[in-house]
Structure 1
Amino acid sequence: MRLGGRLAAAIEVLEDIERRHRPAADALKDWGLSHRFAGAGDRAAIGNIVYDGLRRKRSAGWLVGDDTPRAIGFGALLLEWRETAETLNATLEGDKFAPPPLDADELATIASRNLADAPDVVRADCPDWCAPLLEQVFGPDWVEEGAALAARPPLDLRVNTLRADRAKVLAELEGTGAVASPLTANGIRIPPIDGSGRHPNVQAEPAFQKGWFEVQDEGSQIAADLTGAAPGMQVLDYCAGAGGKTLALSAAMENRGQIFAHDSEKGRLAPMFERLRRSENRNVQVLSKPAELERLEGQMDIVLIDAPCTGSGTWRRRPDAKWRLTQRQLDVRRGEQAAILDAAKAHVKPGGLLAYVTCSVFDAENRDQIEAFLAREKRFEPVDHAALWQQNFSGKADAARIDPARGISLTPARSGTDGFFFAALRRTA
């Protein structure tokens, strides 16, 4: 397929997403199943246009002068593919599968507009109702932070130190663009893709099949590091999901001590078993029933809460979720987070640590939750988060926003990671 056909297909997918309010991945999968003639390169390019359009929906639409899927598709190519209106129209000319080229009104609008002059909410590429939430957190930097959440993400990996080291994995991945991550000791980063490119299928690599590494954003790796899990400890991963942080904690503990992996929805735990087998993490017990947690009350050195959240910190990877998110969903998540904090605290032993993590950038899910918990629970106090960061990431203070009493925030603009929040609370009695 030529670019015109790929653009037409992307517009079709964007229309499907808008009409049916469905996830982008589902819409792209269905398009691929009904257009089997499209090769892997075509599907990747179409997906890039769709995801670029969703990430840059506000700015793409503003640039072209409309908010239709057509305008967003064209705008994505202008913003992310180094196309100009003139080169794009020249490329589409004579392509019977391409959408109609930019018309005179669209060309005039594009020529008259400079994104630097766009309204703040457009440059931040966020929904109107989220703009005050971002400004509350980031102050004068909120537009820059929002724009970073709309950029293409890298592909991050975590070396499984039970089976390999970083030099060994980097050697295996030679030719993929993989380099050492900037912050974590065991992280590897493959830079964001360019244009119609695609990241390598690292899960097809023999090194992955042998359990040498896992796919995990560096922000998630940092959160696991900050818990301070060490050999011999008793650790509960209270919202373990598919087990990304569970495996990271197990490796840090060198398979000594015990990790209990639990999730209130046991279906989320299903992928963990294959990951444990491949990685040779042997100190993990998966607990799917709430009753199984009773024996752990007051026994854990660390209880990790990877709380359900809006996922606003992952908008680079799931940009369609940005436009489906509502205030009601945020309110529901806040209630769930408070309830989980109140339930999980019972398992922390005196002197133990309650670690709270979200992949959100909103204060309502992060700092506000910690303040509310400390107000109603007097047996816990915050650690010195500035000292904790310095202990783990000395010389890299500028990579995080640190509130010594309330927590540590990571963002694409500041740390190059997804948006994450981490807070550690010590049980005093």
Structure 2
Amino acid sequence: MRLGGRLAAAIEILDDIDRRYRPAADALRDWGLSHRFAGSKDRAAIGNIVYDALRRKRSAGWIFQEETPRALAFGALLLQGECTPDMLNAALAEDSFAPPPLSSDEIARIADHPLDAAPDGVRAESPEWCEPLLKRTWGDDWVAEAAALSERPPLDMRTNTLRATRDQVAKALASAGALPCDLAPQGLRVPAIEGQGRHPNVQSEQAFRDGWFEVQDEGSQIVAELTDATSGMQVLDFCAGAGGKSLAMSAAMGNTGQIHAFDADRKRLAPIIDRLKRAGCRNVQAVADEAALAPFEGRLDLVVVDAPCTGAGTWRRRPDAKWRLGEKQLEQRQAEQAEILAKAARFVRPGGRLAYITCSVFAEENEDQVRAFIEANPAFRPVDHEALWERHFPGKAARAKIDRATGIALSPHRTATDGFHFAALERV
């Protein structure tokens, strides 16, 4: 397929997403199943256009003055700097499968609406209702912070030190362009995709099958590091999901102690079994029944709550979720977070620690929840988060947004990671 055919396919998929209000991954998968003639490179290029269109939806809507699937797809190519209107029209003229080229009216609108003249919310690529939330969280930096959530993400991996060293994994993945992460001590990174390329399928490598590494965003690795899970601890991962942080803590603990990986959703927990076997984690026990945790009340050294949240910190990877998110969902997540924190706190022993994590950038899910929990639970007090960060990442305090009392915030703009919030509270 040439560019015109790929662009036409992207428009079709964006229309499907809009009409059926469905996740982009589902729409792309279904398109691929019904167009089996498209090769893997074509599918990757089409996916890039679709995801770029969703990441830059407001910018594309601004330069075209409309948010149709056509405007978003064309806008994705123009805003990524891959071509000019004239170059794009020249390429489409040679392709019988291409959509109609840019009209003189569209070209005029693009010229009359440069992005540097757009309102802040457009340059931030933010849903309008989220603008006050982002302003509250990031202050004067909110546009740059929000815009960074619309960039293409890298591919990050965490070395499983139970099986290999980072140098060994880097050597095994040298052909993929993997280099050490800037902050995470066991992290490796393949840079973000350029043009219409695609990330290497690192999970097909023998090193992955041998359990040498896991695919995990550097931000997720950093917050797992900040939990301070150490040898011999008794740990509860209260919202374990597929187990990414449980596996990271297991390696940090050297397969000693015990990690109880619990999730109320059995389907989310299911993948952890195969991951534990591959990684060689012997100190992690998957728990699907909350009643089975009763004997551990007041007895555990560390309880980690990777809370359900809006996922606003993952918008680089899931840009479609940004446009499906609404205020009611935020309110629902806040209620769930408060309830889960109250439940999880019961298991922390005196002198133990409760770690609260979200992949959100909204203060309503982060600092507000920490303050409310401390107010309702005077037996808990925050650790000194500035000292915690400095101990793990000395000399790099400027990289994160740190509040001594309410926690540590990561973001694509500051730490070049997904957006995360981490807070640690000690039971007095």
Shorter-normalised TM range: over 0.9
| Distance in 2 between residues matched to 1:128 and 1:345, nearest whole Å | 36
Partners of 1:299 and 1:12 in 2: CA distance: 55
For residues 113 and 332 of structure 2, the distance between their equivalents in structure 1, rounded to whole angstroms, comes to: 39
Could you tell me how far apart the structure 1 residues matched to 2:116 and 2:379 are? 50
SS at 2:305's partner residue?
strand
Letter in 2 for 1:269: L
- Cα displacement (A) at 1:195: 1.1
Runs of 4+ aligned residues of structure 1 deviating over 4 Å after TM superposition are none
For 1:10, give the aligned amino acid: A
Q: Give 3-state SS (helix, strand or coil) of 1:365's partner.
A: coil
Structure 2 gap segments, 5+ residues each: none
Q: Where do 1:226-245 residues align within 5 Å?
A: 226-245=226-245
Report the CA distance between 1:80 and its aligned residue.
1.3
CA drift at 1:248: 0.1
> In structure 2, what is the equivalent of residue 72 of structure 1?
72
Alpha-carbon distance, 1:153 to partner: 0.3
Q: Is the 8 A contact 1:386 1:403 kept in 2?
A: yes
Matches within 5 A, 1:216-295: 216-295=216-295
Could you give the per-residue CA deviations for residues 350-398 of structure 1, whole angstroms, max 9, x where no partner exists? 0000000000000000000001111111100000000000000001111
SS in 1 for 2:175: coil
State the match for 1:30 in structure 2: 30
Aligned 8 A contact 1:309 1:359 in 2: yes
Match of 1:416 in 2: 416
Instruction: Map 1:313-328; keep pairs closer than 5 Å.
Output: 313-328=313-328
Structure 1 counterpart SS, 2:174: coil
Query: Is 2:109 aligned against 1:109?
Result: yes
Matched residue count: 428
Offset from partner CA, 1:315-367 (integer Å, 9 cap, x none)? 00000000000000000000000000000000000000000000000000000
Q: Counterpart in 2 of 1:190? A: 190
1:377-416 equivalences under 5 Å are: 377-416=377-416
The residue that corresponds to 1:335 in the other structure is 335
Contact 1:233/1:256 (CA < 8 Å) preserved in 2? yes
Task: Please tell me whether the aligned partners of residues 263 and 269 of structure 1 are also in contact (alpha carbons under 8 angstroms).
Answer: yes
Counterpart CA distance in 2 for 1:236 and 1:352 is: 11
Q: Deviations over 1:114-145 (max 9, x none)?
A: 21111101000010000000000001110101
In the TM superposition, residue 81 of structure 1 has moved relative to its aligned partner by 4.6
Cα displacement string for residues 150-180 of structure 1 (whole angstroms, at most 9, x for unaligned residues):
0000000000000101110010011211100
Distance in 2 (CA, whole Å) between partners of 1:319 and 1:81 is 19
Amino acid at match of 2:309: C
Q: Distance in 2 between matches of 1:227 and 1:273?
A: 22
Q: Give the SS at the match of 1:125.
A: coil
SS of alignment partner, residue 255 of structure 1: coil
Please tell me whether the aligned partners of residues 302 and 355 of structure 1 are also in contact (alpha carbons under 8 angstroms).
yes
Deviates more, 1:58-67 or 1:40-49: 58-67
Is the aligned partner of 1:57 residue 2:53? no
Q: Which moved more, 1:125-134 or 1:79-88?
A: 79-88
The question of 1:427 aligning with 2:409 is answered: no
What is the identity, as a one-letter code, of the residue corresponding to 2:139? G
CA distances 1:14-73 after superposition (whole Å, capped 9, x unpaired): 000000000000000000000000000000000000000000000012112211010000
CA distance in 2, matches of 1:282, 1:94: 59
8 Å Cα contact 1:65-1:106 kept in structure 2:
no
Structure 1 unaligned regions, length at least 5:
none
Offset at 1:147?
Answer: 0.5
Would you say the 8 A contact 1:13–1:28 is kept in 2?
yes
Give, in whole Å, the separation in 1 of the partners of 2:208 and 2:90: 43
Task: Quote the Cα distance in structure 1 between the aligned partners of 2:65 and 2:5.
Answer: 23
**Identical amino acids, percent of aligned pairs:** 63
Distance 2:94 2:196 in 1: 21
| Alignment partner, residue 86 of structure 1 | 86
1:96 corresponds in structure 2 to 96
1:111 CA displacement: 1.8
Deviation string, structure 1 residues 75-114 (Cα, Å, up to 9, x no partner): 0000115211110000000311000000011111112232
Q: Give the TM-score taking structure 1 as reference length.
A: 0.99
Name 1:179's counterpart in structure 2.
179
- Asked if the contact 1:44/1:197 (under 8 Å) is kept, the reply is yes
Whether 1:364 aligns to 2:364 is: yes
Structure 1 residues 300-319: Cα deviation after superposition (integer angstroms, max 9, x where no partner): 10000000000000000000
In the alignment, the residues of structure 2 paired with residue 329 and residue 390 of structure 1 have an alpha-carbon distance, to the nearest angstrom, of 35
Name the structure 2 match of 1:353: 353
Counterpart residue type for residue 348 of structure 1: V
Q: Is the 8 A contact 1:81 1:195 kept in 2?
A: no
Distance, in Å, in 2 between the alignment partners of 1:116 and 1:181 is 32
Whole-angstrom CA distance in 1 between matches of 2:114 and 2:102? 17
Residue pair 1:155, 1:217 contacting (<8 A) in 2 also: yes
User: Comparing 391-400 with 236-245, which one deviates more in the overlay?
Assistant: 391-400
Q: Is the 8 A contact 1:169 1:212 kept in 2?
A: yes
Q: What amino acid sits opposite 2:19 in the alignment?
A: R
Provide the aligned C-alpha RMSD in A. Answer: 0.6
2:119 and 2:366 map into 1 onto residues whose CA distance is 28
1:173 is aligned with what amino acid?
L
